[in-house]
Amino acid sequence: MWEKVVEVRKLMKDRGVQTTPACSTIELRGHVHEFVADDVLHPRKKEIYEMMREINQQLRIAGYVAEVNSELHDMGAAEKENALSYHSEKLAIAFGVLSTPPGTTLRVAKDLRICLDCHNFAKLLSAVYNRKVIIRDRNRFHHFHGGHCSCNNYW
């Protein structure tokens, strides 16, 4: 129903309605780092995006396939896959992998519900990188370890 989406977004724009972008946070060494999708404001953005490319490459080798149905904008499959690559929780996780020693548990807070693609990403990352990843989304805690999630895929 993309026509309706376009109609609602136009109506919001006409009325000056602005939404706050979704964000994820990760605390490292007493500092909270906040990320939004496609974030370019973090001082280490170049390193983070390079780490994302490396993680995506490793996860693809392990069988990761983007869940493009998780992207709810009207665009092609390749564009959706690219947009999914830079969701806020993925950037927070990449920053955590980049900034902590191997084996360190990563704790991320997400202000919305985690999408299926990010859920699958975190599950596989926990196995490939041998990390525990804990994501607190709007609904529950997700404890990822060894390729499994504590929610038993009831995300």
Whole-number average pLDDT of the chain: 88
**Mean local confidence (pLDDT), 83-94:** 89
C-alpha 37/C-alpha 12 separation (Å) is 21
Assess whether pLDDT exceeds 90 at residue 68.
no
Terminal alpha carbon distance of the chain: 24
Model pTM? 0.84
Could you tell me if 110 and 34 are in contact, meaning their C-beta atoms sit under 8 angstroms apart? no
Of 20 and 131, more confident: 131
Could you tell me if 106 and 95 are in contact, meaning their C-beta atoms sit under 8 angstroms apart? no
Provide the residue type at 71 as one letter: E
**Mean local confidence (pLDDT), 3-14:** 79
Only one residue has tokens 């280490």, namely 44
Q: Model confidence over 112-138: pLDDT tens digits?
A: 999 889 999 999 999 999 999 999 999
